[in-house]
Structure formats: C-alpha cells, structure tokens
Amino acid sequence: MAALIEATRWHWVVFVVCVLFFLALDLGVFHRHAHVVQFREALGWTLLWVAVALAFGFFLAPALVGQWGRRETMEFVTGYLVELSLSMDNVFVIALLFAYFRVPAAYQHRVLFWGILGALAMRGVMIAAGAALVQRFQWTLYLFGTFLVFSGVKMLFVAGEGVQPERNVVLRLARKLWPVTSEFNGQRFTVARDGRRALTPLALVLLMVETTDLVFALDSIPAIFGVTTRPFIVFTSNVLAILGLRSLYFVLAAAIGYFRYLKTGLSFVLAFIGGKMLLDPHDREPPLWFQMEIPTGLSLLVVAGIILLAMLFSVIAAWRERHVRTRAS
C-alpha cells in the first residue's frame, strides 16, 4: 500500500469542526429565514464552495499536513471532481422529489441543509468502514472496481425508474410509526396533533433525500477509493463536494434539460474509475499480470474531459431542439 500522509487526529478534528461551523453559519445567519434561493445567489455560493475546496487542496492542506505534495493534491482534485460530478445526478433526483411532493421553493434549502448534514454523517461512517476494509483486505479494491464497471454499464443501458416514494421502505415505515399531515407547516418537520407528534410532508421529503443519497453513496464511495486509498483525502474531498450540493441544486435544477447526456458521461466515469481500480496496482497483493499504473494526472484529465464533453453535447442538443421549435413556429 502507498505510504499514508501524516494527517494527525487534530487535522481530522479541526476539519470537522470547521465544516460544522460553516454549516451552523449557513443555517443560523445566511438562511435563518425561509426564502426562495435565486440563481445569482446559488451561483455565488457554488463558486465559493469550489474555491474553498481548491484552496484546501492546493494551499491549506500542503501547508498543514505532512507529506502532502503534488501527488496528494492531484488525488484530492480528482476525487473532488468525481464526487462533484456524481452529485449532479443526485441533484436531478432531488428536483424530481421536490416536484413530486410539491415542496414550496422557500422551504427547499432547509430540506437540503438537513439532508446534506445526514449525508455527511452517513458517508463518514461508510468511508471509515471502507478505509478499514481496504487497509486490511487489499483485494477488496478489485471488488470495488468490478462493481463500478457494472454500475457504469448498467447506468448506460438501463433507464431509471424515476421517483417512486410508495416503494421506499423507510418512508412506508415512517407512515406506520407516525401520523402524517396532509399540508406543509412552514419549515417544520413535525407538528403536534391530538397529543401526538406528527410528521409533515417536509419530513417525508427529507427521508427520501437521505435514502436517495445513501443509494448514490454506494457508487460514489467506491469511486473515490479508485482515485486514492488515503483516508484523509477520501474524506475531505467527499465532504467538500457534498457541501456544495445545496447551492449546486439551485444552479442546475432550472436547467435540467441542458444536461440530458450527463448520466451517459457519469456512466463512463464510473466505468473508467472501476477499470483503473482493476488495472492500477496501488502496491496491492496479490499482483495480477494485467496490471498497469495510471497516473493521477491522467485520471483527472480523463474524468474532466468526459464531464465537459457530456455537458457540451447536452447544451448543443438543447440548442438544436430550441432552434428547430423556433423555426417551426
């Protein structure tokens, strides 16, 4: 296995505390009162979170963490890009959920905030378990790689089933355990009804967002281990990508039609990362005869190229359709 960077317990603690501070600042100050998040505001927050992530990978981490060099920076940026790209697919599913439950625009940020807070906790546990598993049994990387290749092929050829809350086990269990109101009650997730605590539709949406993220994490967590097996890089790149998901939703949700080929691009990304896990030795035992080293810089270029091409083809296709409709009318 590659030598681990010298990330001490204090590095982990300080990073987590900073994340919690920024989340508290977000909800308690900037979004204390419910309001509709406009495109310009969302774009500003998205650019800010991207700048924070890049500043961490290029400047802050190299200055504070021992043995963090160019390779670690490339691994962080590649992992961040992979996680951010996979989060885009999650954005479109969340948009369908909000439309299905008719969530008022002013309440959507609150659902995303608590949904992402839960996602961070779940992914932290999954990353810790995955890192321990890889550290102890290196051959599990081959299983992760095979799973990612399968997921990429499945995503390419199998159409999604859309949003189906009635089939969600967690949602059905919640309906059995608690009464559910038929109307929203502001930003509240629960209200008092006949001496009992009842769930509002906003709480059901939150449950759907959490379970949806758990499903997406089954792809994204193995994918990040295809880029690096260093736990601190895996965790920080994943967390910083997830933190930008709220603002990214408000940027992309209104332009879903311009990203029709994104899922195709993501399928190729998953297949590429899975193939890299199978081919790149990572100093693993036992070695296989077909292994070859794939530089992290090359991986970054391939992933970025796939995503950019998918978005470019999507925009061109949308522009052509709009042009044809304009001429027809």
**What type of residue sits at position 262?**
L
Predicted local confidence at residue 213, as pLDDT: 83
Find, among 263, 236, 306, 260, the residue nearest to 87 by Cα: 263
Peptide bond into 286 cis (omega under 30): yes
Predicted local confidence at residue 2, as pLDDT: 45
Peptide bond into 287 cis (omega under 30): no
Q: Which residues contact 11 (CB under 8 A, 6 or more apart)?
A: 64, 65, 232
Q: Residue written as tokens 């993501």?
A: 266
Residue 266, both tokens: 């993501």
| pTM for the predicted model, two decimal places | 0.84
Cα–Cα distance, 253 to 262 (Å, whole number): 13
Predicted local confidence at residue 120, as pLDDT: 86
Q: What are the residue boundaries of the structural domains of the chain, listed by start?
A: 9-328
* Chain length of the chain: 329
Count of CB atoms situated within 10 Å of the CB of 308: 11
Alpha helices in 104-192 (DSSP H): 105-136, 140-157, 169-177
Residue 95, both tokens: 């948009």
Predicted local confidence at residue 323, as pLDDT: 77
Predicted local confidence at residue 237, as pLDDT: 93
Predicted local confidence at residue 257, as pLDDT: 65
pLDDT tens digit at each of 329 positions of the chain: 444 566 788 889 999 999 888 888 776 666 666 677 777 888 888 899 999 999 999 998 888 887 788 888 999 999 999 988 888 778 878 888 888 888 888 888 888 888 888 888 888 888 888 888 888 887 788 888 888 899 888 888 876 656 677 777 888 888 888 888 888 888 889 888 877 888 999 999 999 888 888 878 888 888 888 888 888 999 999 999 988 888 888 887 766 667 778 888 889 999 999 888 888 655 555 555 456 777 888 888 999 999 899 888 888 888 888 777 777 76
Count of CB atoms situated within 10 Å of the CB of 11: 18
Residue 240, both tokens: 């910083």
DSSP per-residue letters across 267-300: HHHHHHHHHHHHH--TT-SS--TT-----HHHHH
SS3 assignment, position 228: coil
Q: How far apart are the first and last CA of the chain?
A: 62
